[in-house]
Amino acid sequence: MTDTTLTRLHAHEMATRLRTGEVGSRELLEAHLALIERQDHALNAWQSLDPAGARAAADRADTALVRARSDGQEALDALPPLHGIPVALKDLVVTRGQPSTAGSRILEGYRGAYDAHIAERLHDAGAVIPGKTNMDEFAMGSSTEHCAWGPVGNPWDLGRVPGGSSGGSAAAVAAFHAPLAIGTDTGGSIRQPAALTGTVGLRPTYGRVSRSGIIAFASSLDQVGPFARDVRDAALLLGVVAGHDPRDSTSAPEPVPDYASTLATDPGQAAEVLRGRRLGLPRQYFVAGMEPGVEARVREAVARLAAAGAEIVEVDLPHTEYGLATYYIVAPAEASANLARYDGVRFGRSVRTGDVLTDYLETRGTGFGAEVKRRIMLGTYALSAGYYDAYYLKALKVRTLIKADFDQAFEQVDALIAPTSPTVAFPLGARMDDPVAMYLSDACTLPVNVAGLAGLSVPCGLSEGLPVGLQLIGRAFDELTLLQLGRAWEAVSADDDWRRLEPTDLPRLDDPATPAPGVAPAA
């Protein structure tokens, strides 16, 4: 196989070929590393690479594969499903000896002293980690422009954003730099970039995946989840990283289903899942300012799901309109508390002039970017004496009402269906001077985080030549239903022309003259 053919394989296809010996883990890795080296100058999806560590892991995987093949089919079947397969990590996942900067200058030079829980899980599963992906600083952003290492481009149009804050992971998967990637979702930071890059992104229920070793933004909202190019691959990755971790007090001791094995491989069988399912369509998610093309694609998808056997039920989520305000009180308040540790004494970079106050102000003033400073100030204000009851406490009460809306809806339906993002990918720089417009990018995703539920974004077509995402929202710890419904949608839309398209700007990535994202081309 050529390098290009190898990188186009889905993870479950790679797993099959690895077991038959048609391809080796080292061969897979080298194909992806070569593509990254050739193209990332124009994409900037990667913050750091670990070729030596990845090659050592791939060689270990190949040795285990050779041994298993000699021992017979039972030994091959016993290998973990991601054995030998590349998986990218967002740059807030701490790994031993490797950079973990969370996209911030204040952590420049920091190397992990241990492995995050999910990194341990991936190592145990035999996965190969090529490196860390670029991100909005401390996961604060919806475009991956708020990053100390420069913005990330969208493979569909390098002049547009890939969404955020996990834009590096989304762009890497969309550009075939990795078949799988880890992101985090605090207000939509997996689902929104998945929608904007035409990939699959899953935010699991809060507590489903351990946050131990994940650099924190907002502790009651953050959740780790997978990016993939189809639902089956997302199920494989979730199955590896999900599960209880005693080191994380918010990790839930819930049993983890074998997600991937329950998903039908035959399209006809996959579509059968829709028969008799009740899907709720919340009118509040078709927000003001939604692009007509986005709404059209979503409503077309809903109609096709209905034609395939699903029952569509209109539902009311009356407190959705307060979701944005609630989120932007709770998240900055928690960020203010979490980021207080980066003071030049305990963690991160340290500016030393001899004066304690000057050192503190200089360390944080030069270490944090503008968006992080904005949210720290908002959060500190909301938590300050005289304002705690007026803002933060009130936001917590509204959060309870938003969760109650979902609970009531799930008494009627199996899952909710909605747009993921109100727009397609917007141009780089278009919203940098308008924070409110940027925050509205997550209007359709952040209520799920506020309520602690699970959400899945799957591609549902194109508008103006750019991907549109369809969002499925499920009950707590019912990721299995979302994955089954997402797989059913893939079956229903399998023959659509847009499914055979690759990102439009992939050829430009191969051109050495293509500038870095956000840099004007030479005259």
The three-state secondary structure class of 182 is: strand
CA distance 93 to 120: 11
CA distance 43 to 182: 18
Reply yes or no: is the peptide bond before residue 165 cis, omega within 30 of 0.
yes
Polymer length in residues for the chain = 523
Q: Look up 421 and say whether it is catalytic.
A: no
Query: CA geometry: angle at 88 spanning 66 and 170, to 5°?
Result: 135
Distance of CA 142 to the CA centre of its chain: 11
**Residue 69 CB: number of other CB atoms within 10 A?**
15
Nearest to 364 by CA among 378, 380, 382, 348: 348
The active-site residue, picked from 25, 90, 143, 421, is: 90
Q: Look up 48 and say whether it is catalytic.
A: no
CA distance 159 to 126: 36
Query: CA geometry: angle at 352 spanning 349 and 346, to 5°?
Result: 45
Residue type, 23: V
Nearest to 46 by CA among 56, 35, 55, 57: 35
Tokens of 240: 């590896």
Nearest to 442 by CA among 323, 335, 332: 323
Contact 197, 171 (CB under 8 A): yes
The active-site residue, picked from 25, 169, 189, 457, is: 189
50: left (phi over 0), alpha (psi -120 to 50) or beta: beta
What are φ and ψ of residue 474, in 5° steps?
-125, 170
Q: Look up 249 and say whether it is catalytic.
A: no
Tokens of 309: 């056997």
The active-site residue, picked from 100, 165, 441, 457, is: 165
Instruction: For the sheet with 311-315, list strands across it.
Output: 46-49, 131-133, 87-90, 180-184, 224-228, 200-203, 454-463, 466-474, 415-419, 278-282, 311-315
Tokens of 179: 């078949």
| Side-chain-side CA neighbours of residue 303 (13 Å) | 6
Catalytic residues: 90, 165, 189
